[in-house]
Structure 1
Amino acid sequence: MPANFLPPAPAQVLHPDGQVRFGKYAGAPSIIDWTSLAAAHRRGKLWQTLHHKHWHYVALATEEIFCGIAIVDVGWINTAFAYVFDRLAGKLIASYSQDGLPGLTATLNAHPAERASSAFRFLGKRIRFQHLPASGGYELQLQCGSFSINAMLDAKPAAASLLAVGEVLGGTVHATVKSAGMPLSGEVRVGSRSFNLQKGVGSYDHSNGFLARETGWRWASAHALDIGFNLQAGYFSSHENALWLDGQLISLGAAQFDFDPGQAMADWHIYTDDGLLDLHFHPEGFRAENKNLVIASSRYLQPIGVFSGWVRASLDAPKRQIEKLVGVTEDHFSKW
């Protein structure tokens, strides 16, 4: 097996003695449970409560639209957002963002794949993402007034997910599961308009760990059924950098993000230092949100657009050209 191909994921992120199974793996664990975390990385109950961050993000992409949906629990508060970006018009046509009440409005269980279930409910608005045991796929339902989503993500033909488990500067440990691209079905409705998700591609991100009070990152993600990638630079180093290529999951090195933070619609150049990925990203539009809650703040910019360039499985493998693969980049800082 080539050195950058990944071993199968363990069922648990902890060894029986509470030590962490650090590394990158192909597949998802049955559960991400930090309850028996050993003393080397364990902190006091109050510290862990305040620093525990848990989120579920789902992306839906077609030739017409891109949707981003997230449920986030940061311990002392929770929040959710969802949007629809019309790729043909180059603008957001639906957007929902709501802070919730701790312990009441958001629920995220510790299962990142099989038995996964996340939900957000607030004043009649609701979002739910769940694993469907009968089909092995996932269902996403959203009802926010005249904005609704009823989507199915088919996991059967998808490549293995990525599991990354690592240390974080200023925090302790973190684990994330990033799915490969999955075929979509269903529809998105915005007012009187309906968008068919057939022939689209869906993916998700389930993350769970103890992060620093101040956390920042740059991120890029895009998926087709035969190719996809996840790249991050910031709080989690290169732990979650990976390439999906023709059913294989390949580890990538550190990612470099060359962009102008003050120009949301300017192109990005993104590449990895191992020579396996070199891409240019052209934004079609963006979603931005800045929050200041006195004791916390967030600065969020997520351009939506297309990636072009090349990837390869190893240095001696031929370069695979990528042309206009739809996805997102992100520049994010949180004080939470």
Structure 2
Amino acid sequence: MSFSYLPRISQTPQQLIDPSGQPQFGLFEQSVPQLNFSQFDYRTVLDQPAGKLARFFAQKQFQFVTVSGDGWLLAVAIADIRYASSGFAYLYQADSAIFEKGLLLPLQFGCQMSVSPIAGVATLHAGKTRWSIEPATDSWQLQVDCGPLQANLLLHKQQQPPLALCAPTGYQGFTYTEKNNALPVTGQLSLAGKNFPLQQARAGYDFSAGFMRRQTNWRWASINTLLEAQPFGLNLAAGVNETGLCENALWLDGKIQHLSPAQFQFNRYNQESRWQIRTLCDELTLDFTPLFCRQEKVQAGLLASNFRQYVGHYQGEIRLRDGQVLQLKQCLGLAEDHYAKW
């Protein structure tokens, strides 16, 4: 059986914003090298040029890295939401205590973001706590200095194509997002002197930036693993890109397959309940069982956030375009439910 979901993939532009000041929308073959946001012709909802403050506070950016091994998962995030900078780092272990650390800082104090998914450095630090993400053309580097949690890791792209897209956001904005999963990782990862083996680990990254909605929400799923010795990655999202494009894809042995829109069903008020995830064209049918939840609820002036990121097990079937069926059994991964007013 074959599946007909074949979105058009556009040639990657050198710059995201065209000479007329408009974003270039679409799914792209590779990373967009230059995110020239300063050239975006940002307007109010009444078509007037937006002021400097409006431009500043409308632009948001976040970067995320996750690494998954046998019974453990590392997740690190950095976000610049203008009114504040935030991030977290945690290491889940199936048979041990979980280490987690969160930071929330005013404005952009202690925070810097990379200029694109292939250049610059993103950092978040307060006191002796610090983590950084450094993208490059062929890799992403993650460094964590967080008390007992120490990491110096390199995610190797190995010419695997990313999921890269730019889509309209709200009435006058846009979001560029890029994901890449199932990447091999080298380096060192330790917690309280315990070293974690990386030979069988797989990693993924997320780069998202743009002029986003003042209020937004999303559901998200992510897997980085080995299936019968083949690198397998999955990224699914719903609630962010609702304008004809979706950021759904799987990677198997270095090749990408784009997936149709996803539907997430779960009980938000019961954190132990099972999730069900389906796609419009029936490429996959997955269940997710939560094991751990990293959560934050923030109400602070102009900001509000209800964030839940779960570590858990996926199981179910994934049908490839050529008819091959992949079976997931107790596969460690992430699921997320997030509301933000920023």
Same fold (TM over 0.5): yes
The TM-score normalised by the length of structure 2 is 0.88
SS in 2 for 1:226: strand
Offset, 1:75: 1.1
Q: Percent identity?
A: 26
SS in 2 for 1:249: strand
CA displacement, residues 90-119 of structure 1 (integer Å, 9 cap, x when unaligned):
x5x211111124333111122212x24211
Match of 1:221 in 2: 222
Q: Counterparts of 1:250 and 1:332 in 2: how far apart (Å)?
A: 26
Q: Counterparts of 1:10 and 1:243 in 2: how far apart (Å)?
A: 23
1:201 aligns with 2:202: yes
Match of 2:151 in 1: 149
CA displacement, residues 163-195 of structure 1 (integer Å, 9 cap, x when unaligned):
110012256111101113211123322224332
1:3 aligns with 2:6: yes
SS in 2 for 1:180: strand
Q: How many residues were matched structurally?
A: 329
SS in 1 for 2:87: strand
Q: 1:170 and 1:69, CA in 2 relative to 1: closer, same or farther beyond 3 A?
A: farther
Match of 2:281 in 1: 274
Q: 1:5 and 1:23, CA in 2 relative to 1: closer, same or farther beyond 3 A?
A: closer
Equivalent residue runs for 1:115-194 within 5 Å: 115-131=119-135, 136-156=138-158, 159-169=160-170, 172-194=173-195
- Cα RMSD for the two superposed structures: 2.3
Structure 2: 5+ residue stretches without partners: none
Q: Counterparts of 2:340 and 2:178 in 1: how far apart (Å)?
A: 21
Q: Counterparts of 2:83 and 2:258 in 1: how far apart (Å)?
A: 34
1:330 to 332, 336, 339: 336
Structure 1: 5+ residue stretches without partners: none
Offset, 1:8: 4.3
Is this contact kept in 2: 1:5–1:250, CA < 8 A? Answer: no
Tell me which amino acid in the other structure corresponds to 1:313: L
Offset, 1:227: 2.3
Tell me which amino acid in the other structure corresponds to 1:212: R
Is this contact kept in 2: 1:245–1:313, CA < 8 A? Answer: no
Q: 1:85 and 1:171, CA in 2 relative to 1: closer, same or farther beyond 3 A?
A: farther
SS in 2 for 1:29: coil
CA displacement, residues 185-214 of structure 1 (integer Å, 9 cap, x when unaligned):
233222243322332111110110112221
Q: 1:256 and 1:38, CA in 2 relative to 1: closer, same or farther beyond 3 A?
A: same
2:40 to 31, 37, 42: 37
Match of 2:264 in 1: 257
Is this contact kept in 2: 1:23–1:239, CA < 8 A? Answer: no
Q: 1:320 and 1:37, CA in 2 relative to 1: closer, same or farther beyond 3 A?
A: same
Q: Counterparts of 1:226 and 1:198 in 2: how far apart (Å)?
A: 12
Match of 2:115 in 1: 110
1:21 aligns with 2:24: yes
Tell me which amino acid in the other structure corresponds to 1:69: V
Offset, 1:49: 1.4
Is this contact kept in 1: 2:219–2:264, CA < 8 A? Answer: yes
SS in 2 for 1:50: helix
CA displacement, residues 282-303 of structure 1 (integer Å, 9 cap, x when unaligned):
2222211112223212111111
**Range that drifts further, 145-154 or 42-51:** 42-51
1:63 aligns with 2:76: no
Match of 2:302 in 1: 295
